[in-house]
Structure 1
Amino acid sequence: MTSPAGSTPSASHQRRLGGSGLAVPPISLGLWQNFGEQTALETQRGLVLHAVDAGIVHIDLANNYGPPPGAAEASFGRILARDLAGHRDELLISTKAGYRMWPGAYGEGGSRKHLLSSLDQSLDRLGLDHVDIFYSHRYDPTTPLEETIGALATAVSSGRARYVGVSSYSARRTREALAAADTAGVRLSVHQPSYSLLNRWIEEPDASGESVLDVAGDAGLGVLAFSPLAQGMLTTKYLDGIPGDSRAARGGSLPPSYLSLRNRAAIAALAEIASDRGQSLAQMAVSWCLRDSRVSGVLVGARTTDQLDENLAALEHLDFSAAELAAIDENSVDGEINLWAARSSAL
């Protein structure tokens, strides 16, 4: 393994995270999928070390990533201690709390008790005294927003997090969170929303008249988009059906209903545009998300090192012509795949 500080395509294209002083790689590794106990630790280790060697110095986690919840943090903690301990300050490590983590009382939500207790547990699993970014994973209508953001402020003031942000908040709730952060004396640095060619909700104004991207651009809030490949839909693997070893076949967060005839037709049309550009569909999907200067980076959840390398190659062709963007807009349908909307972004 080489030093993460080496000259790599990802490192050389680092972008500023909104108006903060923090730089992030345009492509980061998210451990939402493929880092549960069903995947061998050596397989996980190989993917993480390959990513770091390629300049992907940002590793994104959450308390409930697995399965079971906590497994991804525990696995990454072991990899960090074994292979990357000497590189800790060259890495950007983030985690979140807000979705269900444990059954029973105080196992989820936006309360001060849950967020800070969960952060302490995350740090224990990771073997760290702080994370670089700590997120409120979703807006919680049962908790005053001032309490949720106040807990983030405590995470910073206590030294358990260097930066804080929100994930999947609507434009309206993001504005409210920014105001609460001003009152609490903490800066929100980043929003982590879902965003892809089949899920463009952050471009659309909500009832407040603003979009998430509008708010982010105005407030200097960085945007790190997750699921830019729509959980693998924006590849060619589903054009002829659902492979038996695919995520859709396993169920869970990618139900087969998402692969409707309409969505598959859109995917096929987008694949042709990508081919004309000299890219795979996955590469164009990543490049397209990065076309907007308000998007600091994207989080990918590769299963293999080959998939990760394919995603990184997207950085070689980030420019789009007006004709290409028009063709993409014509075929980029709302796939009705924003599974997080009803639980946070639509509130």
Structure 2
Amino acid sequence: MYQAQESRYENMPYRKVGHSGLKLPVLSLGLWHNFGDVDAIANQKALLFKAFDSGITHFDLANNYGPPAGSAEKNFGRILKEELASYRDEMIISSKAGYYMWPGPYGEWGSKKSLVASCDQSLKRMGLDYVDIFYHHRPDPNTPLEETAQALDLLVKQGKALYVGISNYSAAETRKMTAILKEQKTPFIIHQQRYSLLERAPEEELYEVLAQEQIGAITFSPLAQGLLTDRYLNGIPQDSRAASQNSPFLSAERVEETLALVKQLNDLAQNRGQSLAEMAIAWILQQEVVSSVLIGASKVSQLDANLKALENLDFTAEEKAVIDQLTLR
């Protein structure tokens, strides 16, 4: 039976999430990949144990994570029950709904029917009475924001979620949803969005809205699907995501068009005494509105490498200026 390290809270910083009293570790573990039925359960356990031993208390899921869809929640629930149940009150567990999950008109998007059913299914797969945060995963162009907001509020009132969030919403959509949820007095505290040195769009409008409304940000894909690592500095490995013709996330063309920029960023990271990945994660945490960065890992050594970013979170004004010059284009 797993026993957590007594020193697990010694080195991880925690930040408040928006206007709430909730704190998240500055690094959270995302289970988007590597926790499906296609992945070895022993490796899943090793990743979860290492994360928790390192002070990562937040584990982020969604109903469609796998593959197959639903299996990440099922596997996480199994490990939680067998090994981590005694630590449940030390954990923040989040899930989401909004992407395709089952056939018919109720298996995706943002209707009250879909969100309530999705949450119920997620809780059953994980063996939980409630999740700490439940997100609407993407805006629904065919459902009024008011209905989606009512569904999120209902889940809180039913005791199925402590807090709610949204993901992939634009600045304008976020402002509208904030107003509705504020009127309902729903504990809306967090927004999840893609953000990295190579994708700085949220800074322009979204983060301004989040700061004004006192909503925390949690970011995903901090390493731009591997571009912001040393993996592609000397070409495209045959076993890499970019070499696959079927990857929807990264292509050989994308690697080639960003290679010169990535090499310049790598030089700056080396001068800071960091790897490129460490610097990329540390840089995101310079944003005051960011409560946490979601990291992913397929093996414990990758998790260790990401944790090293915490050893140097400070940037000089000159370093920030160089990064802005390179990436704000």
What TM-score results when the alignment is normalised by the length of structure 1? 0.91
- Tell me, yes or no, if the aligned pair for 2:63 and 2:118 is still in contact at 8 Å: yes
2:108–2:114 CA contact under 8 A, matched in 1: yes
Within 5 Å, which residues of 2 pair with 1:1-347? 1-3=2-4, 6-8=7-9, 10-11=11-12, 13-204=13-204, 211-250=205-244, 251-257=246-252, 259-332=254-327
> Relative to structure 1, is the Cα distance of residues 4 and 62 closer, same or farther in structure 2, using a 3 angstrom cutoff?
farther
Matched residue of 1:248: which SS? coil
* Cα 1:215–1:125 shift into 2, 3 Å: same
Equivalent residues of 2:57, 2:91 under 8 A apart: yes
> What is the identity, as a one-letter code, of the residue corresponding to 1:167?
S
Percent of aligned pairs sharing the same letter: 50
- Write out per-residue CA displacement over residues 141-183 of structure 1, whole angstroms, 9 at most, x where no aligned residue: 1100000011110111100000001001111000000011023
Aligned 8 A contact 2:225 2:250 in 1: no
**Letter paired with 2:30:** G
- Per-residue CA deviations over 1:6-38 (Å, capped at 9, x if unaligned) read 444553x11111111000000000001112222
2-structure distance, mates of 1:88, 1:184: 29
CA offset at residue 133 of structure 1? 0.3
CA offset at residue 105 of structure 1? 2.6
Deviation at 1:258, TM superposition (A): 5.4
Which segments of structure 1 move beyond 6 Å, counting only runs of 4 or more?
none
> How many residues are treated as equivalent by the alignment?
327
Inter-CA distance 145–258: structure 2 relative to 1 (3 Å threshold): farther
Q: What TM-score, normalized to structure 2?
A: 0.96
* Cα pair distance change 1:74/1:35, threshold 3 Å: same
What secondary structure sits across from 1:259 in the alignment?
helix
What amino acid is aligned across from residue 92 of structure 1 in structure 2? I
Q: Please tell me whether the aligned partners of residues 232 and 255 of structure 2 are also in contact (alpha carbons under 8 angstroms).
A: no
CA-to-partner distance for each residue in 1:44-99, whole Å, 9 max, x for gaps? 11111111111111000000011111011011011101110000000110000001
- CA shift digits 1:297-338 (9 cap, x unpaired): 10001111111111111111111011101111122266xxxx
Q: Structure 2: which amino acid aligns with 1:237?
A: R
**C-alpha distance in 1, partners of 2:143/2:231?**
41
Q: Is the Cα contact below 8 Å between 1:131 and 1:162 reproduced in 2?
A: yes
Tell me which amino acid in the other structure corresponds to 2:229: T
1:184–1:58 CA distance, 2 compared to 1 (3 A): same
Q: CA RMSD in A?
A: 1.5
CA spacing shift, 1:180–1:157, aligned 2, 3 Å: same
Is the 1:170–1:212 Cα contact (8 Å) retained in structure 2? yes
Amino acid in structure 1 at the alignment position of 2:31: L
**CA, structure 1 residues 224+325, in 2 after alignment: closer, same or farther (shift >3 Å)?**
same
Unaligned runs of 5+ in 1: 205-210, 335-347
